[in-house]
Chains A and B, each alone.
Chain A
Amino acid sequence: MSQAPVLAMRGIDKSFLGVPVLRSVDLVIEPGEVHAVVGENGAGKSTLMKILAGVHTADAGTIELGGRAVSFTHPLQAQHAGVATVFQEFNLLPELSVAENIHLGREPRRRGLIDRRAMAERTAALLSDLGVDDLAPAAKAKTLSVPRQQIVEIAKAMSQGADLICMDEPTAALADAEVELLYRLVERLRDKGVSVLYVSHRLREIFDLCDRITVLKDGERVTTVDTADITPDELVTAMVGRRIEAVFPEPLPGTETGEVRLAVTGGGNAQIDGIDLEVRAGEIVGLAGLQGSGRTEIAEAVFGIEPFTRGTVAVDGETRRITGPRKAIAAGIALVTEDRKAQGLALNQSVGANARMVLDANARVHSRARLARISGILSSLDLVSRGEDQEVQYLSGGNQQKVVVAKWLAAEPGVIVLDEPTRGIDVGAKHKLYAVIRSLAAEGLAVLLITSELIEVIGLADRIVVLHDGRIAGELPGGATEQQVMAYATGRSPA
């Protein structure tokens, strides 16, 4: 190509506290290209992106943008140089409005003063241009649902008029309908000649959207290929270094559906109503539905965060008044929350302290065996860390999620509610987690699985309960089709 590449990173090295995270990584992105960077949790994808965004500074290597050498020490410089970034972690200020968040650091001014009118107008224009005009520019970010917040972040990046937009797992919090929206936005950018650097663990998106793929493994670039020249299986093999079956694991032999372990009858509160739900020992029940349909609200009610105000809950045949998480834990219920940073982890504490937290807080006896189990659980989930002493804030996103799962498994619950357990987890680890979920069922736990990825509920659940607008819209057997689930989820009934 005659044109200079939009981005050329060459020989990038980066260590944190002496531990190398990136080793001599090259990345070249052409104008108008959608370029995927894939790799396992901890491979260094986010670190590479943060170097490009001016958050971290590389130890060695060069960065050229449009043929000009640059070096950034502050994110502002990257923005000025035409690089916009959607970071993996949520990056909105809850107390600021949508408009203020989108323009943060670049507020429009008139005679040196912030021009709020212009800010609101530009935001409205931007949002309607992006096809999300139901988002009010004046709404505070904290009042938005997680996927809406993600959309705002994407809008923020797109509003910067950048030549290169980096997106680090932009769909991790999105349901399928919103993923569609993102697809359209990426296509639009490509048409305008804007390049996109796209990080995702969802292979389907990689193959739908991206022109070329760079694979990172353990901080090194394995290969860069044209998407057309590689199959999903080959890609996974390149990422993980071994072959992985692309299908969901079968139920383990000896898994038996037994007594009802969790029974909700007529449950309801301000967000959900008329919830009748039974999960038996050894059973995996999937909760499907659009964002905001009440899936997370059910999880929170079962676990006592926002308790049911109507109806009854019985665990192992015994009626329980679950008014708070402690009661829920005492009843043998565990919840892997959807928002790991806010609700799942003490970020500045060690992996070990986090994994032991539920045990520490609730177990009367501290059996050595139980504590030993934690190490076993962590390694069974393939946690990549520098040992149990490492603070979880320095783990990659996917590895943080594994610590949350481990912490609950350590409590040996009878009922486990998993709210988006695979968010941000790489393919290899996902498969491990699927196997873990199967083994939980085989051990006689009742599993309630919430996930935005329809294919996961369909592949794993024995029964699928579909929610719509706070109520149960219908129930389907495992292995139902996506169309059937979506029909219930959108409030129609399948013909």
Chain B
Amino acid sequence: MSLRRLDTTALIYLALAGVVAIGGIAVAIDGGNLFSTANLVDMFTRTSLTGFLALGMTLVILCRSLDLSVGYTAALASMVAATTMDGDPNRIVLGALAALLVAGLVGAANGAIVSFLGVNPFIATLGVGLIIKGYLDTEYKGPAGLVPTAFQQFGYSRIAFVPVSTLVMLALAAAGIWFLRSTRTGHHMYAVGGNIDVARMSGVRTKSTLMTAHILCGMFAGVAGLLLAARFGTGSATEAYSNLYELDAIAAVVLGGTLLLGGRGGIAGTVAGVLILAVLDTVFNVMQINPFAKDVLRGAIIITAVAIYARRQLSRTARRPRFAAAGTAADTGRP
């Protein structure tokens, strides 16, 4: 009963705590320790890549759009970064900026196709993703470019058991929360996702809001690409997009309580969603659950979570009861 009172974000963090507790117990019964340094490092390392992609994905989903191209965009960005840097430490900044610029342009293309041409975002971004894949596959037959050791630190160094990339992800998440709450453009994303006609008639610039969401989503994918490049030490396309990172990102967003239909949710929830997925994966890893059962479990958990949100949402919209359920006609809730 009291669970109903909690807002969705609080509930998700509660779920995260639950997953950590249950995972910890399961691993302990198995004779391991989920909270050993090695396992914690593993867990946090998993959060950064999905995290970057999921942050951007949250913005487009809030606008009732979608971006299926993020995996390919990240791959492209990693290529751009690695080939631009080309082993020269002096070109790190240039390479990173180039990667972000290219990723932002891909996002802009997505946004323009969705908002100006009116193409369904599912199709639009899938198409853009395939175009990028085709380009990468023909242009690069394998790894290309070289990432200077200094920049590889972004992939490997950590403070205690928290990788630097995870800290960067959390900092960007904080910036994202602030952006959604405090800027007009961020705030208008909720309006555009809630009802684009209403938003437009209220004077919201709906097209530029959608564009902004897509551009930011692309740039977040660019950051993910930088991380990939840092980890692999080179630009490696197939490694990046064959993992279907975009689906993980969408799963994290939805687990985090953002409505796939737009207009509701936020980045705080997404971070929890990312953490839940990371904890699950680490637990599965430590317990050496076979990959097939692992996917089944992940799928089942995601569906269960979303079903629970859906139920809550139904009961939330209901009016406050005026009469008690029992036959006693008590006037509740009224002075």
Chain A residues near B (Cβ < 8 Å): 53, 55, 74-76, 79, 85, 87, 91-96, 100, 104-107, 109, 112-114, 142, 156, 268-274, 294, 309-310, 469-471
Contact = CB atoms under 8 A, between A and B. Distances in A.
A74 B323 CA distance: 47
B323 A91 contact: no
24 contacts: A55-B201, A74-B200, A74-B205, A75-B201, A75-B203, A87-B201, A91-B198, A93-B191, A93-B263, A95-B263, A96-B191, A105-B188, A105-B199, A113-B183, A142-B317, A268-B323, A269-B323, A270-B319, A270-B323, A271-B323, A272-B323, A309-B325, A310-B327, A470-B323
A426 B63 CA distance: 37
A113 B329 CA distance: 49
A446 to B, nearest CB: 26
Contacts of B24: none
Contacts of A91: 198, 201-202
A94 B195 CA distance: 9
Contact of B329 (A92, A156, A274): A274
A75 B200 contact: yes
Q: Determine the main DSSP class of A at the interface with B.
A: loop
B87 interface: no
B198 A79 contact: no
A482 to B, nearest CB: 26
A78 B204 CA distance: 12
A95 B190 contact: yes
Interface in B167-191: 181-184, 187-188, 190-191
B162 to A, nearest CB: 30
A93 B195 contact: yes
B264 interface: yes
Closest 3 CB pairs of A and B: A105-B203, A270-B321, A93-B194
A107 B203 CA distance: 11
A255 B187 CA distance: 58
Nearest to A90: B198
A107 B323 contact: no
Nearest to A115: B182
B152 to A, nearest CB: 37
A107 B184 contact: yes
B4 interface: no
A272 B322 CA distance: 7
Contacts of B191: 93, 96, 104-105
Nearest to A105: B203
Contact of A273 (B190, B198, B199, B329): B329
A53 B205 CA distance: 15
Nearest to A266: B327
Contacts of B321: 270-271
A335 to B, nearest CB: 18
A97 B51 CA distance: 29
B200 to A, nearest CB: 6
Contacts of B199: 93, 104-105
A168 to B, nearest CB: 11
Contacts of A93: 190-191, 194-195, 198-199, 263
A270 B322 contact: yes
Highest count of chain B CB atoms <10 Å: which of A105, A272, A469? A105
A113 B323 CA distance: 44
Interface in B136-186: 181-184
B97 to A, nearest CB: 25
A104 B181 contact: no
A49 B86 CA distance: 61
A156 B325 CA distance: 38
Given A93-B190, A142-B317, A271-B319, A75 B202 contact: yes
Given A93-B198, A96-B194, A271-B323, A114 B329 contact: no
Contacts of B329: 268, 273-274, 471
A446 B323 CA distance: 28
A119 B178 CA distance: 17
Contact of A92 (B187, B188, B198, B327): B198
Contacts of B187: 100, 107, 114
B245 to A, nearest CB: 29
Contacts of A269: 323
Interface in B296-321: 317, 319, 321
Interface string B196-212: 00111111110000000
Contacts of A94: 194
B332 to A, nearest CB: 9
Of A95, A268, A470, most buried by chain B (CB within 10 Å of CB) is A95
Contact of A470 (B204, B322, B325): B322
A133 to B, nearest CB: 17
Given A55-B200, A96-B194, A294-B322, 5 more contacts: A55-B201, A75-B201, A91-B198, A100-B187, A270-B325
Most A C-beta atoms less than 10 A away, residue of B183, B194, B200, B201: B201
B290 to A, nearest CB: 42
B263 A114 contact: no
